[in-house]
Chain A
Amino acid sequence: MSAAGAALRLRGGLTQRLVETARRWPTYMRVAAGVLALLVVAGLLANVVAPLDDTAVDLDHVLEGPTAAHPMGTDEVGRDLLTRVLHGVRISLVIAVLASLAAVAVGALVGVLAGTLGGRADAVLMRMTDVFASQNHFLFGVLLLVLFRPVLGGTGAIMLAIGFTHWPSLARIVRGELLSVRERPFVLAAIGGGASRHRLARRHYLPHLLPAVGLAFVLTVPHAVFHESAYSFLGLGLEPHQASLGNILADGQRSLLAGGWWIALFPGLALLAIAMTIGTIAEYWREHLHPRWRSELEL
């Protein structure tokens, strides 16, 4: 590395390090990251970017196709679809991120408990994990929604339904990683040298587990986006007036017979963009975390 590059790294604030990392990305990663950043910014600034009130009813402009004034058209009560979609992106992303955090927390907790307690506790926890994993998580989520929506409200119940169904695979990974890192020579040496539990956890276990947990989080987000929108679409999630992407799609379903295809098309495109960009980034990260032998010889 050149002297200038080294100096840059020394000064390296987070932004600079990010820029440096981004410089090594292949084009498709830059596109994915750019589109995602755009979606996040547009969602966060929905009130600023989208000039129109997302609840403003305009009965003179009902079910109008895309025009210059309404690039995505208007819905059955004349609300601007672009505004609603941008709000939907924000709501869906926020809920998906929180729900994924919940799922990751449950998975990590079960995995750490199983991996450190060992013995019978481990066996019970893992059998429990198997039972959960063999469930259809969508259907199970529906059950949770019905049971807990009255107390937690739509948002809370959705987080529960996603958090409580998306943890088994991470629990298995965390447990497996813990068991394998404990057998590594340097950790055995640390144990032999009388390192405290606290020190072991901080110096050896945590650095080993964090990437796996982080990756699991990113991989869960697109799932959470899908589940949130699907539940809302079915009428089991957020309140109908909330502009989540799933709710807009439910409006879209009603408008289809009246020819309002744009109400079904655009929110779905937003969902697709979120899922594809996050998915691409997660896959790229996975490849880098576990650089499997990728043939340089073929393709």
Chain B
Amino acid sequence: MLKLIARRLAVLPLVLLAVATVTFALTEISPFDPVEAYVGAESNVSTERKAEIARAWGFDQPLHERFGRWIGNIARGDMGHSIVAGGQPVGPEIVSRASASIALIGGALLLVLVGGLVFGVLAAAFRGTVFDWLVRTSCYFNTAAPSFWVGLLALYVFSIELGWLPAGFTSDPRSVQSASIDFDHLILPMVVLALTGYAWFTLYVRNTLLEVLREDHVQFARAQGIGEVAVLLRYALPNALIPFVTLTGTHLAELVGGAVLIESIFGWPGLGQLALQAALSEDIPMILGITLCASVFVVLGNLLADVLYRVMDPRVREAAA
């Protein structure tokens, strides 16, 4: 197990190197001029001044040297300077925004897992009933509905019309500790971000359970007179949970992307909003930094899922040993 973790962690720098290479290549192919973006298209900065900036950032160096230096800088944690952060380094800005995103994504993931599990199990238990039909229909609806649209409607209904929940920010901007994260501010963005994943997971748990319920060992458990609830929870569910865990790892990546939209709608000052601001002001170092951080996040999530998968399934555990 430790070997597996070590091996996968050893791959992480390689994955990041690959991502960095691809993104670097893309920035090179594109006609995008970072200096122009920095000084602004309409500014009347002199050509000499632009050349100076280019030199300061190393844009006058040959390709391979720039690439080498860039990779070296990233390896040291220096991802350049950001326009949206007012020329400050990218790394610290990402760190300062991370907590809001982690709270949002973590909360949403928790909702996805718990909601998917509970409703998936209930739908499977009451398969063929009106309840099952309602759960399934609402899930199909949710998988097809764009999250940002649902977010807008939720914002309108719950914040603007009903006034039950605040419409944005992590806490009341008038309060003294406006950097803190208040739960009532978290609810709406968290729930909306979780909806799509919840729908997928619910359908997934339900369908997997129904498949497992047809297996021999479940029939045999029933033949022994074990009750239907115990059969569902102790014979079918453990098997259905195993693929569920792997799905969690991949879903993390989806939540990271969804956070960009949800944070922008709800004015949630996390990495997603930062990424959007960076994109709108063509702040390439910041976007690259966030992309790399997201990669780390996703790879770690997949690693966690893989480890759990092995812990849970004795057959895989042995095959790996």
Contact = CB atoms under 8 A, between A and B. Distances in A.
A106 interface: no
B214 A268 contact: no
A235 B144 contact: no
Contact of A146 (B256, B279, B302): B279
A275 B196 CA distance: 13
A131 B290 CA distance: 16
B260 interface: yes
Interface stretch (B151-159, B226-234, B237-245): B151-159
Interface residues of B, number: 54
Interface in A100-159: 127-128, 131-132, 134-140, 142-148, 150-151
Interface in B245-301: 253-254, 256-258, 260-261, 264-265, 275-276, 279-280, 282, 284, 287-288, 290-291, 294-295, 298-299
Interface string A254-280: 001101010011011001100110010
What does DSSP make chain A's interface, helix, strand, loop or mixed? helix
Given A136-B253, A142-B287, A264 B15 contact: no
B contacts with A: majority SS: helix
B79 to A, nearest CB: 14
A90 B256 CA distance: 30
Contact of B210 (A145, A233, A268, A299): A299
Q: Which 5 A-B pairs have the closest CB atoms?
A: A138-B257, A268-B149, A147-B30, A275-B144, A276-B144
A229 interface: yes
Contact of A264 (B141, B156, B298): B156
B291 A272 contact: no
Contacts of A222: 144
A299 B18 contact: no
Interface string B205-225: 000001001100000000000
Interface of B: 15, 18-19, 22-23, 26-27, 29-32, 127-128, 140-141, 143-146, 148-150, 152-153, 155-156, 160, 210, 213-214, 253-254, 256-258, 260-261, 264-265, 275-276, 279-280, 282, 284, 287-288, 290-291, 294-295, 298-299, 302
> Interface residues of A toward B: which range?
35 or more
B144 A131 contact: no
B80 to A, nearest CB: 14
Nearest to A147: B30
A140 B18 contact: no
Contacts of B19: 131, 135
A234 interface: yes
B156 A146 contact: no
Contacts, number: 139
Nearest to A157: B30
| Most chain A beta carbons < 10 A, residue from B26, B30, B276, B291 | B30
Interface string A279-299: 100000000000000010111
Given A234-B261, A235-B280, A264-B156, 11 more contacts: A134-B299, A142-B275, A147-B29, A150-B32, A230-B146, A233-B148, A233-B261, A264-B149, A264-B153, A265-B153, A272-B145
Contacts of B257: 136-139
B146 A272 contact: yes
Nearest to B140: A276
A262 B153 CA distance: 10
B152 A249 contact: yes
B265 A253 contact: yes
B284 A147 contact: yes
B247 to A, nearest CB: 14
Interface in A4-56: none
B26 A144 contact: yes
Contact of A139 (B26, B127, B213, B275): B275
Contacts of B153: 261, 264-265, 268
B149 A146 contact: no
A236 interface: yes
Interface in A218-258: 222, 226, 229-230, 233-236, 249, 252-253, 256-257
A131 B18 contact: yes
A139 B290 contact: yes
Contacts of B287: 142-143, 146
Given A142-B275, A146-B32, A271-B149, A256 B144 contact: no
